Structure 1
């Protein structure tokens, strides 16, 4: 599986996971807050920030009928009209270039999720390094075709998609000229519960499509994301907010700066810990082997005296014969005087 370059960063199984801070609509239409979020994400060590590129009119219709109002009572946005929700959560197009420039100046990559074909055209003007397709848009084949035709890497959240729908999206992207595809396991509930995340899908998804796989994580905390790294995730995307208590459309399932910093550190630590199949101890453990147990003379033994449980013990360190030889040693005669503390060896008894 080949590495994928997103801007200046290489992504792949041999690299620590690529951490994306999703700003979403948590800027609450405040440009200075959005800039502060970019700066805080960089300080926390995130490798990229991501925006969402849409307008309320490009997302839905300005209609208040039941079809266009969120009905689910357990939704964070229950009772909201789709058009007004998207108007509140959208990132103004005129902000994009300034936020991208700030991110790049701080050493991060910056890109976005386009939600219609016109958004792809707009983002191409800004020369983004890749595109992200949101889970709800995975069945929007014309949008995938448009983004893939740029030839840039494509990150696609799978969300609710069936294997057949994922296959259709991947095939569409490849036929349109995209060679670098990363699929993100995603649970499209907001927030998502760990019990509903099914991380074991990650290696299955990777093997099914022979593509790199990551996680778009809507659960609270960082535990699920860190666990995903152990299952092969090369990309982790988490929503980000400066202060959950201050609000924001996605604040309830977003990480604060200290948590994002922990995610960057702990996911890298999980990656480092994966290693390779190893038995018999690592090179770092060689010195520790000295402190295993072995057979020692525990009280003074005279020449010709029988070695027994009364004058031998299995103790640390491992300077003497290994404990597996205990039964063979008992009953032997000492060839010479053996003071207490002598590490037993084959040439010390008959």
Structure 2
């Protein structure tokens, strides 16, 4: 936030009408406020004639509180000299025009004017920060007002709390602050109006801050005993100064961003967290389980590795009995092949389950993925639409992990699959590819990790034989920032369209493999026919067939490759 919220909680002393229309009193209150540590002071600018009708019971009172333009000019000038930021409540167009001529920092729209289209329209063209009181307002009123106010880009702060002279604790409903934060992309403030002489007068703002408020507005008066205007919810200067001190102490405890451990908490973690200690010597290559370890605090303060991070991983070097498991015994990244599956297709129904020889396409694909020694897990990301139970049954029959999710949001299914098996990197391969460059998987993974790329893939391989190695975080960013098309089966489209946001590495394989004109995917009946011919001709030992061998076969038998060579691409290749 530019003016209102930078690093500190913004504290605003609300003078309101506690000056009772007297310039000298107003300046005296301003002087006291400047010594409390508050960031800003707020006054109320109005004319009785635009605030209430003449027969209103408080018309004469409001009329007596009016100050002249010259008095306002003197007051604002004095407040400026104290280095306080200055805000004013404005209750009508005439007031708005007058006060806008003076060097104030921002305005406040009282909740009573949230349905006043004239005042809202006037402030919609202002570029100064605007506090918006939402007291006693319905959500649709607030939404409509905000639409008007956003004509010009400006900082908007939603102020929660109403004046009950004083407001009862039971009427605060502070958890509404959380709901407001969820609904609206603006800074939230609290203006509670509880009894000024109660302990809760200092506690409630702190509670509001803990719930997400970043602006605190509090009434101030010189002497509550005199029972001036709004005295019920006002603090005296000493009390206000103490509140400022409490808020400054509280804001130190607020995290900057995210769930981050402070240095002292990290030290506590190292001192107190128990570590995984080998019950017996564990040989290199052993798949780790929690039963291989006991847990104890250690003299050497190692970072504790949660069991769910090491369980199922292969240890990369021997760990002696009684020794502590550390990251040096594990790969630095976990990688899973996440395969999106669904039966629907405009060209060929149930492509992954189409038979080739004695296997279906998905089975052939899995056999090739299992050749990798760097893939930690394989998981199917299955559409939850009717008919896809066949993939659930396939997964159960083959002891495969799986998740189910939105049919069209393929990207979300990939993300959920990765999180289900707790990996930070995925290998993405489409489920209708019976022949992939499996012999290049591990080299691609190594290059991806060594380069710390967001997306790594081969270029110029035959269509349907390549794969993508992708950081989970990059996929999450794509889902958050992209549109519907980016969440479809074109899962890396957003990444490819935004090369300045992501680090993309394209590896060119050896020359003999650079044959992008060859189709080895299965998207049509013609593709399936070619795939079956290849299998029948080259599958001699029931082992995965190398791509180089397939390319050589098709180049020597052009009549076979011509079967599907004229099928157009459905999407742009990168």
Structures share fold, TM-score greater than 0.5: yes
Counterpart among 217, 229, 250 of residue 237 in structure 1: 217
Query: Contact 2:76 / 2:103 at 8 angstroms: preserved in 1?
Result: no
1:277 CA displacement: 6.4
The corresponding residue for 1:21 is 13
Select the residue among 108, 112, 123 that pairs with 1:147: 123
- Change in Cα spacing, 1:180 to 1:287, as seen in structure 2 (3 Å) is closer
User: Is contact 1:47-1:109 (8 Å) kept?
Assistant: yes
SS at match of 1:156: strand
Match of 1:268 among 232, 248, 251: 248
CA distance in 1, matches of 2:212, 2:159: 11
Q: In the alignment, which residue of structure 2 is the partner of 1:203?
A: 178
Larger radius of gyration: 2
The 1:59/1:319 distance shift into structure 2, 3 A limit, reads same
Question: Are 2:9 and 1:11 equivalent residues in the alignment?
Answer: no
Per-residue displacement from partner, 1:203-223 (whole Å, max 9, x unpaired)? Answer: 221221211111122112121
Contact 1:24 1:89 in 2 (8 A): no
Aligned equivalents of 2:127, 2:185: Cα separation in 1: 19
Distance 1:244 1:157 in 2: 24
TM-score by length of structure 2 reads 0.45
SS for the counterpart of 1:147 is: helix
State the distance in 2 between where 1:29 and 1:112 align. 15
Asked if the contact 1:216/1:237 (under 8 Å) is kept, the reply is yes
The answer (yes or no) to whether the contact 2:16–2:219 under 8 Å persists in 1 is: yes
Counterpart in the other structure of 2:102: 126
Q: 1:180 aligns with which of 155, 168, 178?
A: 155
Quote the Cα distance in structure 2 between the aligned partners of 1:259 and 1:90. Answer: 28
Runs of 4+ in 1 over 4 A off after TM superposition: 276-279, 285-292, 318-321
Offset of residue 166 of structure 1:
0.3
Residue deviations 1:40-95 (CA, integer Å, cap 9, x gap): 001011111111111222212222xxxx2xxxxxxxxxxxx220221244444432
Contact kept in structure 2, 1:100 and 1:111, CA below 8 Å: no
Secondary structure at 2:97 match in 1: helix
Q: Secondary structure at the match of 2:252?
A: helix
Q: Is the Cα contact below 8 Å between 1:135 and 1:186 reproduced in 2?
A: no
Match of 2:37 in 1: 45
Partner of 2:139: 163
- In the alignment, what sits opposite 1:306? none
1:264-297 CA distances to partner (integer Å, 9 max, x unpaired)?
A: 2212222221226668x742256778997x9xxx
Q: How many Å apart are 1:16 and its aligned residue?
A: 1.6
1:247 is matched with which residue?
227
Task: Give distance in 1, aligned partners of 2:104 and 2:187.
Answer: 20
Change (3 A) 1:153 1:82: same
Distance 2:133 2:250 in 1: 23
Q: Partners in 1 of 2:269 and 2:181 — Cα distance?
A: 39
Counterpart CA distance in 2 for 1:124 and 1:48 is 17
**Are 1:244 and 1:252, in contact at CA under 8 Å, matched by a contact in 2?**
yes
Q: CA separation in 1, counterparts of 2:163 and 2:210?
A: 22
Q: State the distance in 2 between where 1:143 and 1:320 align.
A: 67
Is 1:192 the counterpart of 2:186 in the alignment? no
Q: How large is the RMSD of aligned CA atoms in angstroms?
A: 2.7
Gaps of 5+ in 1: 69-80, 295-317, 322-345
- Contact in 2 for aligned 1:186/1:197 (Cα 8 Å): yes
Q: Which residue is equivalent to 2:93?
A: 117
Instruction: Give the aligned partner of residue 215 of structure 1.
Output: 190
SS of the counterpart of 1:225? helix
CA distance in 2, matches of 1:146, 1:320: 66
Structure 2: distance between partners of 1:62 and 1:23: 25
Q: How far, CA to CA, are the matches of 1:42 and 1:187 in structure 2?
A: 25
| Cα 1:150–1:282 shift into 2, 3 Å | closer
Q: Specify whether residues 148 and 36 from structure 1 end up closer, same or farther in structure 2 by C-alpha distance, changes over 3 A only.
A: same
**1:152 Cα deviation (Å)?**
1.7
CA contact (8 A) 2:134 2:159 kept: yes
